[in-house]
Chain A
């Protein structure tokens, strides 16, 4: 295998890694503030993608042809805003009422909420059980560097993903909201005593995580030009695994986990002398091995410092 081909695979893997990381960050944020696992997260990714798709159809039927740049921005913002709202609502009505109950209950209720979301899209989106083409809004060209093809759309999406991840980092480390999130994650009672509104902070965290999920959904749609109602299932499982190998509760761990998982899948499909059908078996098997080696994740949260 030559260098160009290797670089091509690395590029493909990086693109996957960005999507996985965006999903994984949500899982880790929710776990950080409330110690809950929200299993509907993958389906929120899917709902975000479908919101983007519906927005783009609405845009072109309302205004005719819209410049693609504006369309991308409007679609992304609408999807992110809508999912942030959905995330906050789910936190308020499903997660918060149960947060004193065993965490298993939250896991179950969100698992069911995910099924409701998935089946609702299938039933109520027109012909929702079929795969849907996602509009191609990004420039179609590519540069060829020898045998390495760098597509403009991949480069743009990679940049969007990285900017989002850096943005989350800045939000958590540099803003008052980030401070509040970190405080609640560390010790909700003390944080409340210090005047940090517990419920508002939790809602904001869920809005943030779900907004990122919507972004992952839109990036996914723009990258593959296709979305379908069941896409959230595997993305959710992968995002969760990535968050766990990185260390649940640690944002950087989730990002690292996302890229590790993408790398494992790519290696499983490309470099190993096994049928490519086993790449997920290989990747999830490696996750099991990693967890056996570091049960708390690669970047384990120290109990005194979360998120």
Chain B
């Protein structure tokens, strides 16, 4: 017996050690985005990206906790968003959230997160009021707002000597916000708005609007809205013989937009904050890991932001442990944090200051950075499609 004792103790110790190594405390993080409905492609891309961040961290032997992603579907509908936000926030095991692609949903849920004290990082919604319309310390955002986006958009397009714009926007907060900021900046830069049309977000037929726009002879149609509607309008512009440049917002920068239009997508311009993923050292790593994970849907434009937001949350938890208040405080103080979308710094409202706006144009079935495109080099021209 006495001879065996040391072995028994050693075995028991080893066993308990390996138990500790495997049984790291599990910490839950919520991901909320549109997984069904018209913009589901973007939501799935974001979800996969957040999941990838969690998976990579769990595989890291140095991580103190085991992370679990609670995935919820907001359907891009404010009422559903508030329901699932409440579900996540009321769950005490959930320490932080990576929340929302749709601005209308993000607007509806900020109060919920504030009330429950759940720190969240918005990964895709661009309406300024989400961070600037309140003083909630819980709300942060890694992507930029539509203000910067439209300022650059108006300056850039007037710089290309376009004069006359017709605006079509959806009548959600998102579309109205784009309409407002773009109109403001365009007037400042000397552009003329010949017509402004609000349309519902699920409208199928634009024959009446486009027939009127054709009479107004604009150089550019500015569209404030998201992919499904953008595809429909661009496609019907061609049907009704409206020859104008189609200018969109970050809401149409998706692979789904190009897939839905085929060759008609050529020469469409749009703007998005942040540098494109493959231009950043961390971004290349992200795209490589994403490809290696074999997801059936692409990350789409905001996948890198969801990935960065998830990592930011995990880093904060690693630092102070799974405590909502402490994590919130760490997030509030985020400064020059390295990520796949560049350095992240939150201002007083939790808004990441993303100074860089990237201009995109569709060339040969791909979103190409304007400066790298044949449109910028003069080989192709937007008007002479």
List residues of A whose CB falls within 8 A of some B CB: 5, 8-9, 12-13, 15-16, 119, 122, 127, 129-133, 142, 149, 151, 220, 223-226, 228, 230-231, 233-235, 265-266, 269-270, 275-277, 279-280
- Which has the most chain A C-beta neighbours within 10 Å: B198, B207, B232, B260? B207
Which residues of chain A come closer than 8 Å to B204, judged between CB atoms?
220, 224, 231, 234-235
Q: Is the CB of B212 within 8 A of A131?
A: no
Query: Which of B41, B203, B260 is in CB contact (< 8 Å) with A133?
Result: B260
How many Å from the CB of A135 to the closest CB on chain B?
Answer: 10
Given contacts A131-B232, A149-B241, contact A8 B199 (CB under 8 A): no
Q: Is the CB of A119 within 8 A of B202?
A: no
Query: Which of A131, A149, A225, A270 is in CB contact (< 8 Å) with B228?
Result: A131
Q: Is the CB of A132 within 8 A of B260?
A: yes
Q: Which stretch in B32-40, B149-157, B180-188, B374-382 binds the other chain?
A: B32-40
Query: Which of A149, A151, A230 is in CB contact (< 8 Å) with B202?
Result: A230
Query: Which of A119, A122, A133 is in CB contact (< 8 Å) with B262?
Result: A133
- Which has the most chain A C-beta neighbours within 10 Å: B171, B228, B297? B228
Q: Is the CB of B241 within 8 A of A122?
A: no
Query: Which of A129, A270, A275 is in CB contact (< 8 Å) with B40?
Result: A129
> What total of A-B pairs shows CB separation below 8 Å?
107
Query: Which of A122, A265, A275 is in CB contact (< 8 Å) with B198?
Result: A275
Add 10 more A-B contacts to A9-B211, A13-B207, A280-B203 (CB < 8 A). Answer: A122-B40, A127-B256, A129-B36, A130-B228, A133-B235, A226-B231, A228-B38, A233-B202, A276-B198, A277-B197
Look across to chain A and name the residue whose beta carbon is closest to the beta carbon of B212. A270
Q: In the docked arrangement, what's the CA distance between A142 and B204, Å?
A: 22
Q: In the docked arrangement, what's the CA distance between A282 and B240, Å?
A: 24
**Can you spell out 13 A-B residue pairs with CB atoms less than 8 angstroms apart?**
A12-B211, A13-B208, A129-B256, A131-B259, A133-B259, A225-B235, A226-B231, A230-B38, A233-B202, A266-B208, A269-B209, A276-B208, A280-B203
How many Å from the CB of A136 to the closest CB on chain B?
Answer: 9
Task: Bin the interface of chain B by size.
Answer: 35 or more
Which residues of chain B come closer than 8 Å to A220, judged between CB atoms?
204
Q: In the docked arrangement, what's the CA distance between A280 and B297, Å?
A: 34
Q: Is the CB of B202 within 8 A of A234?
A: yes
Q: Is the CB of A224 within 8 A of B208?
A: no
Given contacts A12-B208, A131-B228, contact A119 B36 (CB under 8 A): yes
Which residues of chain B come closer than 8 Å to A234, judged between CB atoms?
202-204
B60 interface contact, C-beta 8 A: no
Q: Is the CB of A224 within 8 A of B40?
A: no
User: Which 5 pairs between the two chains have the least Cβ-Cβ distance?
Assistant: A277-B198, A269-B208, A129-B40, A12-B207, A130-B256
Q: In the docked arrangement, what's the CA distance between A122 and B37, Å?
A: 8
Q: In the docked arrangement, what's the CA distance between A142 and B231, Å?
A: 22
Q: In the docked arrangement, what's the CA distance between A269 and B195, Å?
A: 13
Q: Is the CB of A277 within 8 A of B199?
A: yes
Q: Is the CB of B37 within 8 A of A127?
A: no
Which residues of chain A come closer than 8 Å to B197, judged between CB atoms?
275-277
Look across to chain A and name the residue whose beta carbon is closest to the beta carbon of B236. A224
Given contacts A12-B211, A224-B236, contact A129 B38 (CB under 8 A): yes
Look across to chain B and name the residue whose beta carbon is closest to the beta carbon of A135. B262
Look across to chain B and name the residue whose beta carbon is closest to the beta carbon of A154. B239
How many Å from the CB of B131 to the closest CB on chain A?
Answer: 27
Look across to chain B and name the residue whose beta carbon is closest to the beta carbon of A229. B38
How many Å from the CB of A81 to the closest CB on chain B?
Answer: 25
Q: Is the CB of A228 within 8 A of B228?
A: yes
B261 interface contact, C-beta 8 A: yes
